[in-house]
Amino acid sequence: MKIKILILDDDRAVCSSLKLLLKKKGYETKAIHHPSLALETLEAYNPALILLDMNFTIDTSGKQGLSILKKIVQGFPQTSVILMTGWATVQLAVEGMKLGAKDFLAKPWDNQHLIESIESILQLHSYPKSSATVQEEDFSLDNIIGSSEKMKQIIDMVQRVAKTNASVLITGESGTGKEMISEAIHELSNRHQNEFVKVNLGGLSSTLFESEMFGHKKGAFTGAVTERMGRFEKANGGTIFLDEIGELPLENQVKLLRVLQEKTYEPLGSSHSKKTDVRVISATNKNLQNMSIEGTFREDLYYRINLITIHIPALKERKEDIPLLVDHFVQSTCRAYDIPTPILDDRCYQWLKSQEFPGNIRQLKNMVERTILLHMNERLISIKHFQDNSTEPQTSSNITLPDVGKVTLEELEINMIRKALNFHNQSISKTAKALGITRSSLYRRLEKYNIDHESQN
C-alpha cells in the first residue's frame, strides 16, 4: 500500500508540481485548495503526512495556516505536518513548529530537500523499535557503553534516526560523550562512506567563520594566498558535526541558517553559489531554548537544527553504568599501552559510584587511565590506588577570596585571566579550559579588557 500525502495549498500550480514530484517517488497524493475542506478530507483520506501552506488569501499573515495546524494537531495527532512558507513568514513557521509541525520549508523549495524531509519524518514515525541490544556487527556502537534504561533509550534513538537525513541536536553536559554519539549516527547512516567533518564552533573566531565554513578564493582577503576548501564542501555527501553551537555569535548564526535553509553558499571572494548536501548534527551543553527566549540564539535556527533531540544524561544520572565504563577503560588502556590487565577490587566500583564526577565520562576515563598507568606493576588495584591518584578540583569553599569592597568583579576576572595565561604560557586552549570557558569566550574577554597576549594554540 502506498503512503498517502495530502497537499493543502490554494496555488494549483504548486499542487500540480508537488503531485508530480511525489508520484515519481512512489507516494499517493491528493490536493485540496481551500482550508474549509481540510478536516473533512483528512478524516476520509487518512494521510500519513500533510504539506500545509501558510496562506490561502491575499492576507499573508499566516494566521490561516496556524489555525488549520492547531485543528490538525488536536484532531489528528498521528498525522505529521510540514509547513510550506516563504522567507517573509519564517517566524510564523517557527510558531508552527511550537504548535506541533515537524518541519518547515521555504518556497521555492529544493526538491531533494523536500523529499529528504518527508522521508526522514515518515521513517522516524514508522521505524520499528529495536531491542536496544548492541550487536557485534554494529561496530559504530561499540563505544557507547551502558546498560541503564537511559542509555538503552539513547541507543534505540541512535539506531532509529541514523538511517534518516533528519537534523539532530545532541545536548548534555561537557564530557558526556556527545561527539561519540554523533559519530555513531554517521557510521550507521547511508552517508557513512563519505566524510564526517567536525567543527568546534566554540574555538572558531568570528572573523574566520565564513572562510572556515564556506572556503575562500585566492586573494579574497589579505593573507589568502591560496584557495581554501570550506567545511561544508568537505562534508558534501556526508555529515557535518557542529560542536558547541551555542557559542556561535548571532551574526554568524544567520549565515549558518541561510546555508541550512537554502542548501547553497558562496565561498569568500566568489560570485558563484555552490550546492551542499550534508546531514547536520549539532551539539551543545547550553539550553538553546532559553537562549532563544533571551535573544542570544536565533529561534528559527534552533528549530532548523533539532528535528530530533538526543539528550545525554550526566554520569551522576546513570551511576549503574560506571562498572561497565570502568572495565571498558581498563581494557582499552591496557591494550593501548600493551600492559597486563590488572584485577580491580570489587570495592573500587562502589567507591567510584559514590563519586560526583562533575567532568562526567571524560573525568572518569582520565582517572582510570591515570590509576592503571601509575600502578601498571600492580596485579590488584584497590580503592587506595584510585584515591591516591584522584585529582579533584579545589572546591569554592577552599578558595581564598579578597574581602568584599577590596576589588571589583571585573578586576578579579582580569587578574584571573592574566594569571591563567601566564601559568599556561599564553596557550589560549589551555587557559580557556582552566577557566571553564570556550576559546571564543576567552577571546571576547581579552578584547573587552584589552589584555595583551601572545596567541598560542
pLDDT at 152 exceeding the cut of 60: yes
Cα angle 3, 73, 57 (rounded to 5 degrees) comes to 90
Q: Is the peptide bond before 108 cis (omega within 30 degrees of 0)?
A: yes
**398 CB neighbour count, 10 Å cutoff:** 7
Range of the domain at 171: 149-311
Domain assignment of residue 139, yes or no: no
379 and 428 inside one domain: no
Q: Using one digit for the tens of pLDDT, what is the confidence trace for 6-57? A: 999 988 999 999 999 999 999 999 999 988 899 999 999 999 999 998 887 6
Q: Mean per-residue pLDDT for 284-310? A: 93
* pLDDT on residue 437: 84
The CATH number covering residue 306 comes to 3.40.50.300
74 and 108 inside one domain: yes
User: Using 50, 70 and 90 to split pLDDT, how confident is the model at 360?
Assistant: very high
Domain assignment of residue 395, yes or no: no
As a whole number of angstroms, the distance between CA 7 and CA 72 comes to 13
Looking at the DSSP bridge assignments, the partners of residue 427 are 456
pLDDT at 315 exceeding the cut of 90: yes
User: Using 50, 70 and 90 to split pLDDT, how confident is the model at 446?
Assistant: confident
Q: Mean per-residue pLDDT for 239-251? A: 94
**8 Å CB contact between 215 and 230:** yes
Q: Using one digit for the tens of pLDDT, what is the confidence trace for 226-240? A: 888 999 999 999 999
* pLDDT on residue 405: 67
More confident residue, 414 or 399: 414
pLDDT at 171 exceeding the cut of 50: yes
pLDDT at 270 exceeding the cut of 90: no
Q: Using one digit for the tens of pLDDT, what is the confidence trace for 109-128? A: 889 889 989 998 998 876 44
User: Using 50, 70 and 90 to split pLDDT, how confident is the model at 135?
Assistant: very low
As a whole number of angstroms, the distance between CA 66 and CA 54 comes to 7
212 phi and psi angles, rounded to 5 deg? -70, -45
* pLDDT on residue 403: 66
69 and 113 inside one domain: yes
Place of cell 508520484: 23
User: Using 50, 70 and 90 to split pLDDT, how confident is the model at 65?
Assistant: confident
The CATH number covering residue 121 comes to 3.40.50.2300
Containing 120, the helix (H) or strand (E) segment is: helix 111-126
204 and 301 inside one domain: yes
The CATH number covering residue 429 comes to 1.10.10
The CATH number covering residue 319 comes to 1.10.8.60
* pLDDT on residue 290: 93
**Crossing angle between the packed helical segments 322-337 and 360-374, to the nearest 10 degrees:** 50
| Among candidate residues 435, 420, 359, the one with its CA nearest the CA of residue 391 | 359
199 and 300 inside one domain: yes
* pLDDT on residue 259: 93
409 and 381 inside one domain: no
pTM: 0.75
- DSSP 8-class letter at 343: E
186 and 300 inside one domain: yes
User: Using 50, 70 and 90 to split pLDDT, how confident is the model at 401?
Assistant: low
User: Using 50, 70 and 90 to split pLDDT, how confident is the model at 134?
Assistant: very low
383 phi and psi angles, rounded to 5 deg? -60, -40
pLDDT at 397 exceeding the cut of 60: no
**Burial of 302 by CB count in 10 Å (0-12 exposed, 13-18 middle, 19+ buried)?**
buried
Average pLDDT, the chain: 86
Domain assignment of residue 138, yes or no: no
Q: Using one digit for the tens of pLDDT, what is the confidence trace for 77-111? A: 999 999 987 755 677 778 888 899 998 888 888 89
As a whole number of angstroms, the distance between CA 232 and CA 212 comes to 9
Domain assignment of residue 79, yes or no: yes
Q: Using one digit for the tens of pLDDT, what is the confidence trace for 321-337? A: 999 999 999 999 999 99
As a whole number of angstroms, the distance between CA 166 and CA 258 comes to 17
292 and 176 inside one domain: yes
**8 Å CB contact between 239 and 279:** yes
pLDDT at 199 exceeding the cut of 80: yes
